[in-house]
Amino acid sequence: MNISKIREQSLFTAIKTPFNRNGKIDIAKYDSLVEEQIAAGVDGLIVAGTTGEGHLLDWEEHLMLISHSSNKFAEKLTIVGNTGSNNTREAIRATEYGFASGMHASLQINPYYGKTDESGIYKHIELNLDKGPAFIYNVPGRTGQDIPTQVMEKLSHHDNFIGVKECAGNERIAHYEAQGIACWSGNDDECFVGKHRFNSHGVISVASNLVPGLMRKLMDDAAANDINEKLQPLFDWLFALPNPMPLNTALALTGAVDPVIRLPYLPLSEERRNQFAEIISTLSLTDVVGNQLLSLKDDEFYSII
């Protein structure tokens, strides 16, 4: 799949990684989640990203999941492996392995915690772009450091640059898109307006784990204001606490995954679970992955390490 083809795609799901009680990735549940995405018309997956808890996976798990996704689903979905790291050497090796396993593109991030300067950010990402097509992920709320526009604009000239997953808002997206730099919103609550008023290419979504068909409509239909408004409470709930804690809880409540959560994440409180039930009651369960709403008690969730 070439870069121009990827740029035609508007809806990517940052797919959840489910676990079983033995502390391992639940591949059967993972495949079921992916099949729901395919059925809803999602264009591609971000595998082992933040939502997929890539930071909680060891590299063996991480690369296995990218390889599995590429080998099983690459004919139906664009597979974007999150092989970024704050360690340049580690990112390069993971990216090489990801492409050797068949992923279509990588997701690269600027160094977090151990920050560097603008020249260091550029070189870190450039070396990974040299390995193959990549999305650049700008999420200052997680990394603690914005990728300056002048750095992104310089990176955009690289032959393997696909575009930006941008979390700094629609004004930033409009700035890039006006220069021909493809952007996908990293904020579900802004993605409808971003697509149809600020000319973004689409969204890399957390909510599409739960409501992929409705997110597909938001991307395809500029008149879907009513759906966008109806989903705002869900978006607010999903990001009221650090992602992916709410999503983990939600997918367990809909029966899409087993109620098994890897530490340091924990299930949300009963109060917040009840809030989720109220929000979901405003939607049709046929639009929700899992197609049900369970009433789980605290002791029905299982923590693993």
From CA 237, how far away is CA 228, in angstroms rounded? 14
Look up 195 and say whether it is catalytic. Answer: no
From CA 126, how far away is CA 253, in angstroms rounded? 42
- Going by C-beta distance under 8 Å and a sequence separation of 6 or more, which residues neighbour residue 262? 19, 23, 53, 56, 303, 304, 305
Q: Which amino acid is present at 202? A: G
From CA 283, how far away is CA 290, in angstroms rounded? 13
The token pair that represents 3 in the structure block? 């870069």
Per the residue annotation, which of 16, 165, 195, 217 is the catalytic one?
A: 165
Look up 265 and say whether it is catalytic. Answer: no
From CA 214, how far away is CA 247, in angstroms rounded? 16
Per the residue annotation, which of 97, 137, 176, 265 is the catalytic one?
A: 137
From CA 293, how far away is CA 233, in angstroms rounded? 17
Q: Which sign does the torsion angle of CA 229, 230, 235, 237 carry?
A: positive
The residue count of the chain comes to 305
The token pair that represents 222 in the structure block? 């500029």
Residue 252: exposed, middle, or buried by beta-carbon count in 10 A (0-12, 13-18, 19+)? Answer: buried
**Catalytic sites, residue numbers:** 137, 165
